[in-house]
Amino acid sequence: MKLQEGLFLVVIFCLSYTVLVKGQHQPRKDCQTKCGNVAIEYPFGISSGCYYPGNESFSITCKDDRPHVLRLIEVKNFYHRGQIQVLLNGSSSCNDAQGNEILGSYDFRLDDLSLSANNKFTVVGCNVLGVVGTSGMDDYVTGCMSVCNVPPAKNGKCDGVGCCRTNVSLPLDYTYKFASFRIPNMTSVHKFNPCTYAFLVEDDKFIFSSLEDLKNLRNVEKFPVSLDWSIGNQTCEQAGNTSICGGNSTCSDSTTRSGYICTCNQGFDGNPYILDGCQDINECTTSNSDHKHNCSDPKTCRNRDGGFDCKCRSGYRLDTTTMSCKRKEFGWAMILLVTTIVFLVILLGVSFIQHRLRRRKDTELRQKFFEKNGGGMLIQRLSGAGPSNADVKIFTEEGMKEATNGYDESRILGQGGQGTVYKGILPDNSVVAIKKARLGDRSQVEQFINEVLVLSQINHRNVVKLLGCCLETEVPLLVYEFINSGTLFDHLHGSLFDSSLTWEHRLRIAVEVAGTLAYLHSSASIPIIHRDVKTANILLDDNLTAKVADFGASRLIPMDQEQLTTMVQGTLGYLDPEYYNTGLLNEKSDVYSFGVVLMELLSGQKALCFERLETSKHLVSYFLSSMKENKLHEIIDGQVMNEYNQREIQEAARIALECTRLMGEERPRMKDVAAELEALRAKTTKHKWSDQFPKEVEHLLGVQILSAQGDTSSTGYDSIKNVAILDIEAGR
């Protein structure tokens, strides 16, 4: 049963699709298209689905091989312009042998069709009055009168003598009737005019003959009448896309009634009411004089859609007056035109060659810069074996210019020893930071390449992500993720931000930086020494999360070495004194620099300040003397210390002093520093929470004591330290 229902729906869909195309009703493919010798074209049709729906006036009945509209009225011709020609009977009234008048009339109904303006109501006879009107003669009536006493001598004029005619305009949806009858008390003329006639006929389709028509009207029973029709009741604008006008046709509002009609465009012929009904007329071959070409020489005619062209051979031009080809006359104007065209072609050719040479030169220069900036080595290193940051992208020079708006000064974010940093906007609307080395400083170029190689080995959440680089410029460019909240130096000492970092913020930043350095030293695929750790190289995002940046001075330490001998490089105030004196670089150099950063976080003072006393210009010396004199509270930032965190701050100060010992071997490893700071942070969090929820903490401490009695093999510090170490090692 379900299968039968499915097949029924498919059949209905297929039938609907054949009838409706793009929302426009179209006839079925199997419609009968002829009735006798008369062609039946849409919107008219013989059976359901073959004529335009909703208007039974378009339904044609084929009876005795003759088409009938409204079932009774015979159709002689169909016209696409909104008319049909039908045959209507006439009415006659005749006198018998005794002179008595036998009256006759004819009635008909047009429904949704209407009489065209070119029809005439015509009366033939002498001393006769003809009338036409609606049924009952009370709504509409008109007519004319014809008089004569003897047969008129004039022949062919219907001017009231033997014949009269008048215009008629009948309302829709009525039954109409016309009749003729003698005018009483006038001279009898039935001997030469036994009958009078009244009928509707198209203008110029009936020519009156007084000698024949007054006697017998030439035995004509039906007369050709033109009827108007249109599609629907809407205008073309109202119908819009629902109009049934097909391709290469034009919709126009009916001028005689509501609705619209369709006509084929100029140069096309056919039925405009079906999709592909209007076809191109080949004016070059058609025998129809209305559409034939007017080229003087048929050989020059070239057909095209909607028209034709008369094409003259080379050296001749078309004279549009006679549509004939005449030989071209080359004058000074033509010579000037040809000379101008040749000059422009030469100019364009020279410009094109110069443009190609300039582009080749630019390409060679970009390739030269790419090789000079270590592009080949960089690609080899990035594509070689071993772990690396696979997201590093090589940008083009044009892309960098567009991103920085031509390195506009308004896009500069900052300038420093490593170069200038611009704000850039990539085609996908992502915001990036673009760092450009200083022009002519080869050491800066080497540091840029070094930074790419170093960052290609790093994938850590607290390291500024390197997105790519551009090596096609005279100096290389590095593209980083954009961190929009400035540096830690700006937050501690700058004027752009309020120094509103709380103790919890500062301790968390210290933990994040320490964990990052510990990862670089111990957990990276190749150990990395940053060599320029300072607050200006620590960026903060919207959540004040630390991002370590600027790896231009960094060095990769081979696995079989613990230190490198290099040229001393760093920033005064943060530079390891042992490295400065010996030139031996190891991970303890970063430990010293981090200790200075930790002191800045605690004190809110700069690492090197010449406004302080001679012995206190260096923050490490200032911090050490304050600790020895038990005056630590005097240099701690006022926004940091309170009555609850004094012990934690002293512990952090102790860690900072251990990190800044003169001898590198006496300093702790970054891994241990990170663990201690993480433990200190956990303790600070616990104290702060216990102050807010003392009862809950007391309950949890009781649970922990019971747990400790069951397992005495671990301690709280070791557990925290182990968690911190695992967190550091999970950085990559």
Asked if residues 200 and 52 have their Cβ atoms less than 8 Å apart, the reply is no
Do 211 and 243 share a domain, yes or no? no
Provide the domain limits for residue 715: 488-729
Do 437 and 538 share a domain, yes or no? no
Give the residue with greater pLDDT, 11 vs 173.
173
Alpha-carbon distance of 252 to 259, in angstroms, equals 9
Domain membership flag for residue 335: no
Please state the φ and ψ torsions of residue 181, each to the nearest 5 degrees. -155, 155
Domain membership flag for residue 438: yes
Helix and strand numbers (H, E) in the chain are 17, 39
Q: What would the DSSP string read from start to end of 75-117?
A: EEEEETTTEEEEEEE-EEEEE-TTS-EE--EEEEE-TT-EE-T
pLDDT value for 326: 78
Kindly state the tokens that stand for 455. 């960052």
pLDDT bin (cut points 50, 70, 90) of residue 103 is confident
Do 171 and 209 share a domain, yes or no? yes
pLDDT value for 137: 52
Do 190 and 141 share a domain, yes or no? yes
Domain membership flag for residue 353: no
Alpha-carbon distance of 164 to 148, in angstroms, equals 12
Q: What is the pTM of this model?
A: 0.47
Domain membership flag for residue 356: no
Do 269 and 395 share a domain, yes or no? no
Tokens 């500062």 -> residue: 506
- The pLDDT tens digits of the residues spanning 249-278 come to 999 999 989 999 999 999 999 999 999 999
3-class SS of residue 354: helix
Least confident window among 323-337, 634-648, 660-674 = 323-337
Least confident window among 310-324, 397-411, 436-450 = 436-450
Taking all residues of the chain, what is their mean pLDDT, rounded to a whole number?
Answer: 81
pLDDT value for 41: 93
Tokens 């119908």 -> residue: 239
CATH number of the domain enclosing 550: 1.10.510.10
pLDDT value for 446: 65
Domain membership flag for residue 260: yes
Give the residue with greater pLDDT, 75 vs 472.
75
Rg of the Cα atoms in the chain:
52
Q: What would the DSSP string read from start to end of 8-53?
A: HHHHHHHHHHHHEETTEE---TT---EETTEE--TT-BSSTTSS-T
% of the chain at pLDDT higher than 90: 35
pLDDT of 469 above 90: no
Could you tell me the sign of the dihedral formed by the alpha carbons of 262, 268, 269, 271, in that order? negative
Do 673 and 575 share a domain, yes or no? yes
Catalytic residues: 532
pLDDT bin (cut points 50, 70, 90) of residue 68 is very high
Give the residue with greater pLDDT, 411 vs 616.
411
Do 601 and 690 share a domain, yes or no? yes
Q: Give every CB contact of residue 732 below 8 A, 6+ residues apart in sequence.
A: 458, 459, 460, 519, 523, 524, 525
Kindly state the tokens that stand for 118. 């070119």
pLDDT value for 420: 86
Alpha-carbon distance of 23 to 21, in angstroms, equals 5
- Average of pLDDT values for 443-451? 66
pLDDT value for 721: 32
pLDDT of 443 above 50: yes
Do 200 and 245 share a domain, yes or no? no
Q: Is the bond leading into 43 cis (omega within 30 degrees of zero)?
A: yes
Do 266 and 304 share a domain, yes or no? no
47 to 32, 67, 275: CA distances (angstroms): 8, 12, 20
pLDDT of 10 above 70: no
pLDDT value for 729: 38
Domain membership flag for residue 337: no
Domain membership flag for residue 108: no
Last residue of a domain, one of 225, 240, 266: 225
